[in-house]
Structure 1
Amino acid sequence: MLFRVDPSSSQPLFEQLAAQVRMAVLSGDLPDGERLPAAREVGEALQVNQHTVLHAYQSLRDEGLIELRRGRGAVVTASSSERYQGLAQSLEAVRAEARRLGLPLSAVARMIDQPAEGAT
């Protein structure tokens, strides 16, 4: 898996990495049981501290998306693709509705990022 980070982004590096893994699982590019690259390898390739990569992996572990196994590293859990299936279907419905309304996805993303008025 090829990771990319944008050091100038306001999003922390570990969150950028975790988001890429989530998207790869959602798209099927990272199937259940797939082993992620070692944190040291990713850190060296991206020129970031390996602890940044470990932070991303630990965040994904806390979500139940990956397992961290001593000696085996980070492995995509058996139920990870099912975990996001409902979300993937909902997102496709949102994309379809945005197309119907003529809204660009960037506007939809901003709407998702902003809480609705009156929502708690």
Structure 2
Amino acid sequence: MLITIDPESTEPLYGQLVSQVRGAILRGDVGPGDKLPSARDLASSLGINMHTVLRAYTTLRDEGAIELRRGRGAVVTAKGLDTAELEQSARHLLDVGRRHGVTLAQLHTLLDQEASP
């Protein structure tokens, strides 16, 4: 799993890490039982403070996506991320787009515009 950050982004570093790990789980790059890099190792490799990584991991733990265990580190849970709401929203967006004659490419463009800071 490749994790990168953009120091020029307006999104906080911990938020970027949360997004990167969520994306990796949703894509299936990491799954239940997979261990994430230790906070110390990840912070060192990215050149950021270890507490920034711990804040991201705590956020993911609070969402139920990972477990934090002393001596074991951060492990993706069997639950991972609950994608049901995301999938339902995506289906709804596609349905509305179809009713209005919006192409998938146009929806992508709209989503990219909304995601940009």
Establish whether TM, by shorter chain, passes 0.5.
yes
Give the aligned partner of residue 105 of structure 1: 108
C-alpha separation in 2, matches of 1:14 and 1:51: 9
Instruction: Say how many residue pairs are matched.
Output: 112
**What is the match of residue 83 of structure 2?**
84
**Other-structure match for 2:67:** 67
For residue 58 of structure 2, give the secondary structure of its aligned residue in structure 1.
helix
Does structure 2 conserve the Cα–Cα contact (< 8 Å) formed by 1:98 and 1:108? no
In the TM superposition, residue 27 of structure 1 has moved relative to its aligned partner by 1.1
Query: Secondary structure at the residue paired with 1:87?
Result: helix
Change (3 A) 1:105 1:51: same
The whole-number CA distance in structure 2 between the counterparts of 1:106 and 1:53 is 31
For the 8 Å contact 1:98–1:105, the answer to whether it is kept is no
Residue number in structure 2 paired with 1:48: 48
What is the identity, as a one-letter code, of the residue corresponding to 1:80?
G
1:29–1:48 distance in 2 versus 1, CA, 3 Å: same
CA RMSD of aligned residues (A): 2.5
Determine if contact 1:13/1:52 at 8 Å carries over to the other structure.
yes
Uncovered stretches (5+) of structure 2, i.e. residues with no partner = none
Moved more, 51-60 or 99-108: 99-108
Q: Given the two structures, how large is their TM-score scaled by the length of structure 2? A: 0.81
CA contact (8 A) 1:37 1:74 kept: yes
User: Could you tell me the percent identity over the aligned residues?
Assistant: 46
Against the structure 1 CA distance between its residues 85 and 33, is the aligned structure 2 distance closer, same or farther, given a 3 Å change threshold?
farther
- Partner Cα separation in structure 1 for residue 111 and residue 58 of structure 2: 29
Instruction: Give the alignment's TM-score, normalised by structure 1.
Output: 0.79
**In structure 2, what is the equivalent of residue 33 of structure 1?**
33
8 A Cα contact 1:32 1:80, kept in partner: yes
| Superposition deviation, residue 112 in structure 1 | 7.8
